[in-house]
């Protein structure tokens, strides 16, 4: 078996790691060992928070829709139930955007939801 010299590959790997940790505090941006550990942590946080972001946005949309529904005299659950009964299939992202940007349209949705629940 022939011998493999790894200096070029190792240096390239280390340089890439230190490049990715630019701006980190302390030795985490200059010492390869600390930078590698910091990157492991950072990558695991990034992975976790990509999933949490979806959770956070859904919560934000629900809060916005709930606040707009309260102004129309309905609870969030009554409003969503009414929309489902009325056959209006809009997701929470779009409804929250409408609630913030176009209160008139949201008011019409609330009226349709109220009618559907009453019927």
Q: Which domain holds residue 56?
A: 24-118
Q: How many domains does the chain have?
A: 1
**66 within some domain:** yes
Provide the pLDDT for residue 110: 97
Indicate whether 1 pLDDT > 90.
Answer: no
Q: What is the pLDDT of residues 44-90, one digit of tens each?
A: 999 999 999 999 999 999 999 999 999 999 999 999 999 999 999 99
**12 within some domain:** no
Residue 63 CA to residue 106 CA, distance in Å, equals 15
Q: What is the pLDDT of residues 10-48, one digit of tens each?
A: 999 999 999 999 999 999 999 999 999 999 999 999 999
Provide the pLDDT for residue 99: 97
**46 within some domain:** yes
Residue 98 CA to residue 61 CA, distance in Å, equals 11
Provide the pLDDT for residue 119: 80
CATH of the domain at 58: 1.10.1900.20
Residue 59 CA to residue 100 CA, distance in Å, equals 15
Task: Please tell me the pTM assigned to this model.
Answer: 0.82
**106 within some domain:** yes
Provide the pLDDT for residue 113: 97
Task: Report angle CA 97, 88, 58 to the nearest 5 degrees.
Answer: 40
């Amino acid at each position: 078996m022939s011998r493999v010299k790894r200096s070029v590959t190792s240096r390239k790997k280390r340089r890439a790691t230190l490049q990715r940790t630019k701006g980190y505090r302390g030795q985490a941006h200059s010492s390869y060992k600390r930078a590698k550990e910091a990157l492991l942590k950072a990558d695991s946080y990034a992975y976790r928070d990509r999933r949490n972001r979806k959770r956070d946005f859904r919560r934000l949309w629900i809060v916005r829709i709930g606040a707009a529904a309260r102004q129309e005299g309905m609870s969030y659950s009554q409003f969503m139930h009414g929309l489902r009964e009325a056959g209006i299939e809009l997701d929470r992202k779009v409804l929250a955007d409408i609630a913030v940007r176009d209160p008139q349209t949201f008011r019409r949705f609330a009226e349709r939801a109220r009618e559907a629940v009453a019927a």
